[in-house]
Amino acid sequence: MITLAHIITLKVDGMTCGHCVAAVSRALAQVPGVERVVEVSLERGEAILEGHPDAGQAIAAVVEEGYTARIVTGAQLFQESREPVDDPTSE
C-alpha cells in the first residue's frame, strides 16, 4: 500500500543556535497531528513537519517558545530562491 505524506513547511524567525533548534523541534513534536518533525534548520530558518497538524497550533507552539513562524507555500519558496525573470514577449 502506498501512502502519501503530508508535508508542512514553516518559516521560523529568531533562532540563533542549536538550543533554539532543539526547543522548536520539541515544541512542534507535541502538536497534535504532527507525525514527525522532519527537520528544523537553523541555516534556512525553517521547520519541516510530516502529518496533519492544525497550522495555527503549529505556529502557536513556535511562538510560545519565543520565535515567530508562518506557513511557507511552494510558490513562496520558489520566489525566495529565484530572481524575477523578464518576460521577453511583453515588449
Asked whether residue 14 is domain-assigned, the answer is yes
More confident residue, 28 or 77: 28
Query: Which domain does 16 fall in, by range?
Result: 7-86
Asked whether residue 2 is domain-assigned, the answer is no
pLDDT of residue 80: 46
Provide the domain count of the chain: 1
Instruction: Assess contact for 67 and 20: CB atoms under 8 A.
Output: yes
- Per-position b or e across 24-58, b if 16+ CB within 10 A of its CB: beebbeebeebeebbebeeeebbbbbebebeeeeb
Q: Is the pLDDT of residue 75 over 50?
A: no
Asked whether residue 91 is domain-assigned, the answer is no
Asked whether residue 80 is domain-assigned, the answer is yes
Q: What is the CATH number of the domain that holds 44?
A: 3.30.70.100
Q: Is the pLDDT of residue 87 over 60?
A: no
Q: Would you place residue 88 in the very low, low, confident or very high pLDDT band (cuts 50, 70, 90)?
A: low
pLDDT of residue 4: 57
Provide the whole-model pTM.
0.76
